[in-house]
């Protein structure tokens, strides 16, 4: 959720400033761009060099650098930020923010900020409970600022109680959750399948196909990026997850994929079946490696269960089911037939006759057909871009 976000981290003069080093590190690790702003007193508790190293950016402290004659433009920095996070926020800084005082760079940026402002208080128990602090916090919340509640525990004074700054891991998790709630697919559970299936002939050989899993993994990643809770059922593939929030279920055979799909689909709002599931599987699997002896080897095959059709038969009115059709002839005719027979909401057609489409490559060319036979034709794009187009269609269907 934080990847690519511009986050201003404001640090005030508190012993809790030591936690800010870990906070900055976690934000950078999550993919955020971080600029640190310190009050002059904060530099007495933790060095700007530490925070500059961790954030990979110069630290901002003063309006004006007398050694260089340069002015630190607080307005430009405020406009840069997607989030302004003040942690730790002392009683002194909270009072200034609540009453519009602006005697340092941090408070100047606060008054100029148009982005959401989060503040994580840090102070002793009696200061936190003082009516003035309580009133200032209430005023800041009334202004639209977001409180990250103070924790309870041992304080720097030796007392035990409320007032300690939230832990860095808690702050990062809260920011991620807040951002996720604003996304179009927030908390919607979506099931995705990807890759091929391998149907064993003997312990070392199998029947498979050329599916790389790239399309399914790209779809799962894009859905998660838009806030969905994604479960990805993947056949044998070398692809790896970019988003650790995606639940990965590994399978090998068509039978295993069927079992996983029928287990997970009832708990999900939508399912996108991009896996290339084998249509046939050997009737028997040799217990030992088959030796090359005869000029001809005959293997008896039997049809696998049609997973897409099985899910379509159990699909509820509140669920979506989306399938893929990779065709080599009569592409649109076969895709529409599949759409109707399998009770799908969308069919995503790609043709092996289109250069750059199909298995293994990094590009694809699709046509999306809905159950009303309205079709949208797309140009050749990267699979990441194709995944975005598919997700836009899913959002339209879920939020008409």
Q: 88: cis peptide before it, omega within 30°?
A: yes
Q: Which is the catalytic residue, given 73, 92, 209, 243? A: 209
CA–CA dist 37, 84 (Å, integer) = 10
Q: Establish whether 350 is a catalytic residue.
A: no
What is the DSSP pairing of strand 189-194 with strand 33-38? unpaired
Strands 270-273 and 189-194: parallel
- Asked whether 98 and 140 are in contact (CB, 8 A), the reply is yes
Q: Annotation-wise, does 289 bind a ligand?
A: yes
Q: How many other β-carbons are positioned within 10 Å of the β-carbon of residue 360?
A: 9
Cα–Cα distance for residue pair 382/221, rounded to 1 Å: 14
**Alpha carbon 380 to chain centroid, angstroms:** 25
Nearest in space to 227 (alpha carbons), one of 189, 173, 265, 269 = 189
* SS3 assignment, position 120: strand
Name which of 215, 257, 255, 249 is nearest 231 in CA terms: 249
Is 338 annotated to bind a ligand? Reply is yes
- Where do we find the tokens 């003069």? 13
Can you tell me the distance from the alpha carbon of 22 to that of 51, in angstroms, rounded to the nearest whole number? 9
Tell me whether residue 279 is annotated as binding.
yes
Q: Which two tokens stand for residue 73?
A: 């433009």
Q: Is 342 annotated as a binding residue?
A: yes
Q: How far apart are CA 138 and CA 134, in angstroms?
A: 6
Q: Is 45:14 a contact under the CB 8 Å cutoff? A: yes
- Enzyme catalytic residues: 209
Sequence ranges of the binding site for CTP: 279, 289, 324, 338, 342
Sequence ranges of the binding site: 279, 289, 324, 338, 342
């Amino acid at each position: 959720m934080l990847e690519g976000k511009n986050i201003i981290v404001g640090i005030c003069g508190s012993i809790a400033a030591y936690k800010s080093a870990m906070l900055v590190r976690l934000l950078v690790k999550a993919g955020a761009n971080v600029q640190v702003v310190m009050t002059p007193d904060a530099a007495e508790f933790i060095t700007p060099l530490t925070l500059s190293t961790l954030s990979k950016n110069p630290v901002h402290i003063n309006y004006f650098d007398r050694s260089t004659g340069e002015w630190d433009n607080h307005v430009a920095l405020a406009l840069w930020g997607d989030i302004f996070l003040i942690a730790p926020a002392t009683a002194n800084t909270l009072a200034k923010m609540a009453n519009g005082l602006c005697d340092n760079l941090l408070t100047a940026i606060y008054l100029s900020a148009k982005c959401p402002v989060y503040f994580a208080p840090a102070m002793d128990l009696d200061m936190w409970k003082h009516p003035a602090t309580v009133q200032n916090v209430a005023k800041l919340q009334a202004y639209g600022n977001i409180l990250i509640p103070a924790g309870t525990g041992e304080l720097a004074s030796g007392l035990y109680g409320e007032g300690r700054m939230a832990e860095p891991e808690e702050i990062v998790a809260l920011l991620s959750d807040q951002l996720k709630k604003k996304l179009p697919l927030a908390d919607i559970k979506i099931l995705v399948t990807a890759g091929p299936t391998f149907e064993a002939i003997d312990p070392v050989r199998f029947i498979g196909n050329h599916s790389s899993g790239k399309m399914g993994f790209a779809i799962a990643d894009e859905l998660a990026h838009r806030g969905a809770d994604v479960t990805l059922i993947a056949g044998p593939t070398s692809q790896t997850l970019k988003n650790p929030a995606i639940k990965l279920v590994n399978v090998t055979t068509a039978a295993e994929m069927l079992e996983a799909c029928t287990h997970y689909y009832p708990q999900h709002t939508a399912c996108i079946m991009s896996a290339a599931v084998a249509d046939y599987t050997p009737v028997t699997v040799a217990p030992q490696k088959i030796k090359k002896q005869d000029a001809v080897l005959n293997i008896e095959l039997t049809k696998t269960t049609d997973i897409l059709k099985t899910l379509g038969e159990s699909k509820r009115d509140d669920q979506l089911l989306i399938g893929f059709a990779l065709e080599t002839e009569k592409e649109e005719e076969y895709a529409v037939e599949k759409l109707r027979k399998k009770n799908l909401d969308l069919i995503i057609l790609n043709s092996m006759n289109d250069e750059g489409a199909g298995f293994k490559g990094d590009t694809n060319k699709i046509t999306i057909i809905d159950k009303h036979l309205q079709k949208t034709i797309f140009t050749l794009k990267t699979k990441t871009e194709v995944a975005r187009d598919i997700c836009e269609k899913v959002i339209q269907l879920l939020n008409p």
